Amino acid sequence: MKLSILASTLAAVSAFAPASKTRMMTSLAAQDVPLANGAMSFNRVCREWRCKYTGDKATSESLEAIAKVVDEYLPTIKATSSGMTVNRLVCGSCLDFKLMMTVPLEDFGPWEQKGFEPESEFLEKIKAIEGVSQVETQTITNMEVSMSKCD
């Protein structure tokens, strides 16, 4: 009885399956490092600098001061790697500020060996801003997830 229910369920579900054997999978370059038993991979690494700021996001003096430090150091940060991407994240409800710098995997080691220049200077400057707290860093993978059809 259980087998017949399973068989009829599978037959009904297969009616919604695509006719071709096309499946979706994330793109994977030759230099990617596998994670999660091959279910995902990475070839870009991100260094995140983060802190808490005070005040309303629209009028925060500490956030304004952080923005000025970012403007000051952005050319140096971008010069780290021709493949560098820089993203700024601001949360108005939890008062998070994050600067995420992502580089190709092959550029990460040399940047790490240099202490993630100009990280120490940047962090010291934002630590000195009134209203800034919980200054932290983190290294994480950061991959854009795109879908491609493959047979």
Q: What is the pLDDT of residue 149?
A: 54
pLDDT of 10 strictly over 50? no
| Residues 137, 144, 114, 35, Cα dihedral to 10° | 80
d(CA 99, CA 44): 16
Across the chain, mean pLDDT equals 83
How is 5-40 classified by DSSP, letter by letter?
Answer: HHHHHHHHHHTTS-SS--EEEE---TTPEEEGGGTE
**Token code pair at residue 50:** 């983060």
Mean pLDDT of 4-31: 37
pLDDT in tens, 36-65: 998 888 999 999 999 999 999 999 999 999
